[in-house]
Chains A and B, each alone.
Chain A
Amino acid sequence: MNIVVAIKHIPSIADDLPVKGNNVDFDSVDFVLNEFDEQSIEQAVLVKEAVGGTVTVVGVDMIGELDAVLHLALAKGADKAVKITGDDPAADSHQQAKWLAEAIKGMSADIVFAGVQASNDLDGQIGPMIAAHLDMPYIGGVSSVEVAGDSAMVNKEFAGGVGAKYSVSLPMVVGVQAASKPPRYAPISKVRQVAQTATIEKIAPSGEAGAGLTFKKMAPPVVTGHAEMFTGSSKEVAAKIVELLKSKGLA
């Protein structure tokens, strides 16, 4: 079973995002792995552990720091790591999806995993676009994947525990919402060992695609209203909340 995980390296939203021109100032932000990709890597490794095969993780190197992310994926159980030397921190999902699809073409993938979405998917997610380029079926919002023979049973989440089971014949592209088990922890000693021994295959970007969107403005959202803030010690805040609830007959 050839399992491929397509990942996105995206600006961290743990910090404030500085703006430069009409986009994020990519020089002053840290890049992190899309959190849904952590789930999709886990799901890929779980599938491998269940039915065997190899897991190849592939991503576009946005700022030259993708190696650390790939090492982590290898430490968590991926077998191969590939980076596309994009070196363009502003590459949009359309462009990344095209590059990724071109790279995945040669991997004879049975399943391509992607995170269901990323916080910077302004022009949509890479998963469905890779599926379109590779002419594979796509199903997103997935919370478990069980492979049997040349098809897979996947659970897709709609809302609040409501979902549906689908049978998909392989190859397919899956947008992972959550892995069937919470992502594992990779001990750093293993990550560091991997970092020393593993080779990361480099692929030059191939193919062009664009979102077709012209940026007019980027800024923190205009705040229309703001909560009335309770200040003081935690105890005082608690007292104010309780008082408010009591006055509204809610406590």
Chain B
Amino acid sequence: MLTTIERIAFIVLALTSAGFAIHGIKTIVDSVRKGRSAPELKNIPASLIKAGIMVLFQQTIFKARKILSTIHLGLFFGLITYAFVNLVDILEGFIPGFDLVYGGKHLTFPFLPSGIINAFNLIADVMSGALLFSITVFLVRRFIVKDKRLTYRENVLLNPKVKAGGQNKDSLVVGVFVILHVAARLLGQAFRLTDGADPFMPIASFLNGIFGASQTGVHVAWWISLCWVLYILPYITRSKHTHFTVGPINLGLAKQNPRGQLDPAVPAGEKIDPGAKFIHDLSWKRVLDSYACVQCNRCQDVCPANFAEGASLSPSALEVNKRYLIKEATFGSHPERLLLPLTETVISPEAVWACTTCHACVSVCPVGNEPMADIIDIRRRMIVDGAELDSGVQNALQSLATNGNWMSKGKRLRGRWAKEMEIPVKNATEEPVENLWFVGDTASFDERVVPNTKMVARIFQQAGFDFGIMYQNESNAGNDVRRVGEEGLFEQLVEQNIAAMGKAQFKQIVTTDPHSFNTLKNEYPQFGGKFDVKHYTSVLVKLFEEGKLTVKNPLSGYKVTFHDPCYLGRYNGGFTAPRKLLELMGVEFNEMPRNCENSFCCGAGGGQIWMGKVAPGERPAENRIKEALTTFEKNPSDKKQLFIVTCPKDMIMYSDAVKTTGNEGKIEVRDLIQLIAEAVGLEAPIISLETEAVAS
């Protein structure tokens, strides 16, 4: 079809385009390789194939935004189709007589059966329509409707170019490309239909009805369509649309360790500063993250630290800032910017300290990004570099270092609650027990939570469950210490606990606190502490199933909803045991819209409970209480409405939120254990020494 001069011209243009594109790819690869080593990935080909299948079925985007995700299908399959279409178009240009219309009637090399040609034409034609439709929807959404979810809050640190609309420019360029490219190609097809309509090319046939056929038109459309491709390929390597190819690859290279196990602060076997100050202190995988991200902002939607109006944290802003930082240093003329601290270029210190480490951003990300892990690495280095800490965090850490708990309580007071029990609680470091109960700080010391702790002990005792605690030998498990970035202190706590557990004889560990549960289960093994760790909800389910506990008073008068704690649910998949227990209690159960994997963090994790500062506006816990009430409203009744939690931190956060939202009387926060105690009919009342002491 093409003349010799045209052919030469096209080849020159194609080579130029390829040159720029390869340069772009090389720059990205170089930059990624400069990152620190990441934890070893096993069987990468299998992971990539698995990711490929997931991408093909677009599974990961459907975790949120079902409608927009459906429209993304049009883009995804459309662009895949067009990769083939463009290839075929080039063949048509270069191979005389290669002309895929009318089932191949005009084909001079009849090597393709007409069925395939017709199918190809049909798919190309329909997908052109789908592509035009979906890109139009996305452009309208971004530029006309101005969907707020595509923007960042005012206090979020943004690269100046992003702030000036860099991403919108990318979207516009690629959007216009898609429209003009597809339109040109469709018109080209229409111009080729010299015999009138082809039933396998409905859209092209329709256009043919308007514009008729034209050989010149075919020629011009071919050039327009493919020149766009030659322009856009290098452009993509310099825009957020690296997403097209890096997205699936990144998903295939995603972290394989358990969610609840953080990457080491220093890569194994290396002697470098822990954590991250500069972009290339991040692991190569997390440098790659920034190229996978297309700023769909699903992470921002689910981030509890982005929830309030004045929030400064956006996981997606972190990723786009990372990419722009590298872009300015590599494609741009500012290589020195790579030596600017991440806290000046990528995320504000305020935002660094706002993360609750709830993992929602990582879980929801369709391309396997881990912005949360970057934040923890940045915290790690800030702490080692002696950054000024929030006074509450500093107090907590100091107390943890000296007392083993964050509440500035003496070590010896840890087991005081147990000494107040009627039936003695065994000291697992002194006599063998079946189950070692790791109690945790809040449950041991906080006067508001201690009654629940005693209740757990009494239920265990009632079930004949043999257990002991470590009294003053237990230290904080370190989950939040690690997530606040104090890796050294975390290691110290781990060593203290493993040493204490070494003195104890037990078969398994039971925890009541999801945070302790997570680190004991997922992180202690890295330090030689390999134990069988159970959350008490699954232990109780077993005790009920074995008939060691029975429901004496079914609680049908209660209408309840359940909040999945991040570190039990999203991190460790402990969704069913608490729900099973609620079912056994005979309560009326109402599931909130955000449940299980999509549970919404209370806002206390990752050290937030130690900090006084919260962004102005509605707090996540307050929003959650409202969500519960709306859920209850769908099933109106006179029953008592309970918000059930199973994490000591939740007890504190949600009790506060019920008050601050003025919903006292409408909804009450209770620990799961309180319901169980009532249902199994704990015999003797729990004697509160507190009241006695006060009365004297």
Residues of A at the B interface (CB closer than 8 Å) are 12, 14-15, 28, 30, 32, 72, 182, 184-185, 187-192, 229, 231, 235
Q: Which of A12, A182, A192 contacts B488 (CB 8 A)?
A: A192
Complex Cα distance, B398 from A178, in Å, reads 18
Complex Cα distance, B468 from A5, in Å, reads 44
Asked whether A188 and B410 contact (CB < 8 A) given A32-B402, A231-B691, A231-B694, the answer is no
Complex Cα distance, B411 from A188, in Å, reads 19
The stretch that binds A, out of B107-115, B383-391, B534-542, B671-679, is B383-391
Task: Write 21 A-B pairs (CB below 8 A) sorted by A numbering.
Answer: A14-B410, A15-B412, A15-B413, A28-B412, A30-B410, A30-B411, A184-B386, A187-B383, A187-B488, A187-B489, A188-B401, A188-B488, A188-B489, A189-B487, A190-B384, A191-B401, A192-B488, A192-B491, A229-B694, A231-B691, A235-B664
Q: Is B572 an interface residue (CB 8 A)?
A: no
Contacts of B403 in A (CB 8 A): 14, 30
Say how far B408's CB is from chain A's closest CB, in angstroms: 6
Asked whether A192 and B410 contact (CB < 8 A) given A14-B403, A184-B386, A185-B389, the answer is no
Q: Is B486 an interface residue (CB 8 A)?
A: yes
Question: 5 additional contacts, CB 8 Å, given A72-B401, A188-B401?
Answer: A15-B410, A15-B411, A15-B412, A192-B492, A229-B694
Contact size range, B:
20 to 34
Asked whether A189 and B386 contact (CB < 8 A) given A14-B409, A15-B412, the answer is no
**A14, A191, A229: which has the most chain B beta carbons within 10 Å?**
A14
Say how far B210's CB is from chain A's closest CB, in angstroms: 72
Asked whether A187 and B410 contact (CB < 8 A) given A192-B491, A192-B492, A229-B694, the answer is no
Name B492's closest neighbour in chain A (CB-CB).
Answer: A188
Q: Is B647 an interface residue (CB 8 A)?
A: no
Complex Cα distance, B384 from A6, in Å, reads 27
Mark B370-414 against chain A: 1 for CB-CB distance below 8 A, else 0.
000000000000011010010100100110011100001111110
Contacts of B565 in A (CB 8 A): none
Q: Is B605 an interface residue (CB 8 A)?
A: no
Contacts of B401 in A (CB 8 A): 72, 188, 191
Contacts of B409 in A (CB 8 A): 14
Complex Cα distance, B514 from A235, in Å, reads 28
Contacts of B486 in A (CB 8 A): 187-188
Q: Does B398 contact A185, Cβ atoms closer than 8 Å?
A: yes
Complex Cα distance, B402 from A27, in Å, reads 18
Contacts of A185 in B (CB 8 A): 383, 386, 389, 394, 397-398
Q: Is B274 an interface residue (CB 8 A)?
A: yes
Complex Cα distance, B491 from A188, in Å, reads 9
Q: Which of B389, B394, B488, B491 contacts A190 (CB 8 A)?
A: B488
Complex Cα distance, B495 from A189, in Å, reads 13
Contacts of B391 in A (CB 8 A): 182
Complex Cα distance, B398 from A172, in Å, reads 31
Contacts of A184 in B (CB 8 A): 386
**A14, A15, A182, A189: which has the most chain B beta carbons within 10 Å?**
A189
**A185, A191, A229: which has the most chain B beta carbons within 10 Å?**
A185
**A28, A184, A188, A190: which has the most chain B beta carbons within 10 Å?**
A188
Complex Cα distance, B5 from A122, in Å, reads 102
Complex Cα distance, B691 from A190, in Å, reads 45
Q: Does A14 contact B408, Cβ atoms closer than 8 Å?
A: yes
Name B694's closest neighbour in chain A (CB-CB).
Answer: A229
Q: Does B412 contact A30, Cβ atoms closer than 8 Å?
A: yes
Contacts of B491 in A (CB 8 A): 188-189, 192
**B397, B402, B413, B659: which has the most chain A beta carbons within 10 Å?**
B402
**B274, B398, B410, B489: which has the most chain A beta carbons within 10 Å?**
B410
Complex Cα distance, B488 from A191, in Å, reads 8
Contacts of B411 in A (CB 8 A): 15, 30
Q: Does B488 contact A189, Cβ atoms closer than 8 Å?
A: yes
Say how far A123's CB is from chain B's closest CB, in angstroms: 25
Name B389's closest neighbour in chain A (CB-CB).
Answer: A185
Q: Does A187 contact B386, Cβ atoms closer than 8 Å?
A: yes
Say how far A15's CB is from chain B's closest CB, in angstroms: 3
Name B690's closest neighbour in chain A (CB-CB).
Answer: A231
Contacts of B386 in A (CB 8 A): 184-185, 187
Say how far A51's CB is from chain B's closest CB, in angstroms: 20
Say how far A8's CB is from chain B's closest CB, in angstroms: 15
Q: Does B274 contact A189, Cβ atoms closer than 8 Å?
A: yes
Name B411's closest neighbour in chain A (CB-CB).
Answer: A30
Complex Cα distance, B382 from A187, in Å, reads 10
Complex Cα distance, B486 from A188, in Å, reads 7
Q: Which of B397, B410, B659 contacts A12 (CB 8 A)?
A: B410
Say how far A30's CB is from chain B's closest CB, in angstroms: 6
Say how far A38's CB is from chain B's closest CB, in angstroms: 9
Say how far A17's CB is from chain B's closest CB, in angstroms: 10
Name B403's closest neighbour in chain A (CB-CB).
Answer: A14
Complex Cα distance, B70 from A195, in Å, reads 58
Name B448's closest neighbour in chain A (CB-CB).
Answer: A234
Mark B59-72 against chain A: 1 for CB-CB distance below 8 A, else 0.
00000000000000
Complex Cα distance, B408 from A188, in Å, reads 17
Complex Cα distance, B664 from A235, in Å, reads 11
Contacts of B274 in A (CB 8 A): 189
Asked whether A187 and B394 contact (CB < 8 A) given A12-B410, A192-B492, the answer is no
Say how far B673's CB is from chain A's closest CB, in angstroms: 19
Contacts of A189 in B (CB 8 A): 274, 384, 487-488, 491
Complex Cα distance, B27 from A132, in Å, reads 70
Say how far A199's CB is from chain B's closest CB, in angstroms: 20
Contacts of A188 in B (CB 8 A): 401, 486, 488-489, 491-492
The 10 closest A-B pairs by CB, nearest first: A189-B488, A15-B410, A188-B488, A188-B489, A14-B410, A229-B694, A185-B394, A187-B383, A187-B384, A15-B412
> Which residues of B in the span 501-522 have a Cβ within 8 Å of any Cβ on A?
none
Mark B597-641 against chain A: 1 for CB-CB distance below 8 A, else 0.
000000000000000000000000000000000000000000000
Complex Cα distance, B391 from A188, in Å, reads 17
Say how far B79's CB is from chain A's closest CB, in angstroms: 47
Say how far A59's CB is from chain B's closest CB, in angstroms: 16
Complex Cα distance, B659 from A184, in Å, reads 36
Name A191's closest neighbour in chain B (CB-CB).
Answer: B488
Contacts of A15 in B (CB 8 A): 410-413
Complex Cα distance, B394 from A12, in Å, reads 19
Contacts of A30 in B (CB 8 A): 403, 410-412
Contacts of A190 in B (CB 8 A): 384, 488
Complex Cα distance, B398 from A235, in Å, reads 31
Complex Cα distance, B550 from A234, in Å, reads 34
Complex Cα distance, B383 from A188, in Å, reads 9
